[in-house]
């Protein structure tokens, strides 16, 4: 799994999100990614411009109290840190809902070639929607209800998706989905992107 951010703490923290790595030394964190220092002494030691009033230092560096120093701030700040990481990533993702009812034949053919190609694809299926990562940061959304409305058997579509060994498919029960779902709010469409980097 690729880490999307780092938490620097002198002891392991429980119940961390799977997309964050906990390290015990500041030098072990990749500072090109969001990093949270835990503990006031840890922050003072590693942040030259440390101020107790400013918990965000620069674009990607934060600090918070240890749970034993200030539990309320710790929990609030760690949740903010998770949301910051997620929002940082989804900022550049573009979502396109594909209304297949209005598609012209050449666009349907192009969509078919995208979906059933041998290229590696990340697909999230939830509540009668298929979300597919296309060209690094574009997500295509296709309604299975719309497919049924057009008298196309959605089970055949799903079976064909699952039979393509190049497809990585997740549902709401998948661990990857559970790791990010609480942080993305109503932006479920971004999940295939996270599948591709986690």
Q: 16-69 pLDDT, tens per residue?
A: 888 899 999 999 999 999 999 999 999 999 999 999 999 999 889 999 999 999
Task: Write down the pLDDT at residue 1.
Answer: 56
Q: Are residues 162 and 70 in the same domain?
A: no
Q: Give the residues across from 98 on adjacent strands.
A: 142
How many domains does the chain divide into? Answer: 2
Last residue of a domain, one of 22, 56, 90: 90
Q: Are residues 39 and 130 in the same domain?
A: no
Last residue of a domain, one of 45, 71, 90: 90
Q: For residue range 129-159, what is the model confidence (pLDDT) as tens digits? A: 999 998 888 999 999 999 888 888 889 889 9
How is 5-44 classified by DSSP, letter by letter?
A: EEEE-SSPPSS--TTEEEESSGGGS-TTS-EEEESHHHHH
Q: Are residues 73 and 131 in the same domain?
A: no
Contact 100, 111 (CB under 8 A): yes
Q: Are residues 80 and 99 in the same domain?
A: no
Q: Are residues 81 and 98 in the same domain?
A: no
pTM check: above 0.75: yes
Containing structural domain, residue 177? 94-197
Last residue of a domain, one of 60, 90, 120: 90
pLDDT at 113 over 80: yes
């Amino acid at each position: 799994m690729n880490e999307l951010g780092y938490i620097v703490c002198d002891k392991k923290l429980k119940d961390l999100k799977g997309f964050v790595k906990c390290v015990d030394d500041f030098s072990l964190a990749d500072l090109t990614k969001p990093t949270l220092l835990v503990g006031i002494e840890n922050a003072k030691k590693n942040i030259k411009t440390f101020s107790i009033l400013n918990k965000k230092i620069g674009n990607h560096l934060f600090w918070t109290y240890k749970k034993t120093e200030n539990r309320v701030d710790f929990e609030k700040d760690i949740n903010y840190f998770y949301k910051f990481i997620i929002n940082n990533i989804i900022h550049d993702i573009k979502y396109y809902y594909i209304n297949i009812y209005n598609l012209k034949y050449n666009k349907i053919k192009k969509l078919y070639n995208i979906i059933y190609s041998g290229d590696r694809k990340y697909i999230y299926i939830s509540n009668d929607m298929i979300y597919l990562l296309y060209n690094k940061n574009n997500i295509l959304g296709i309604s299975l209800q719309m497919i049924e409305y057009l008298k196309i058997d959605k089970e055949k579509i799903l079976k064909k998706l699952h039979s393509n060994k190049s497809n990585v498919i997740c549902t709401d029960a998948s661990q990857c989905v559970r790791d990010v779902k609480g942080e993305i709010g109503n932006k479920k469409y971004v999940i295939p992107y996270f599948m591709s980097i986690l």
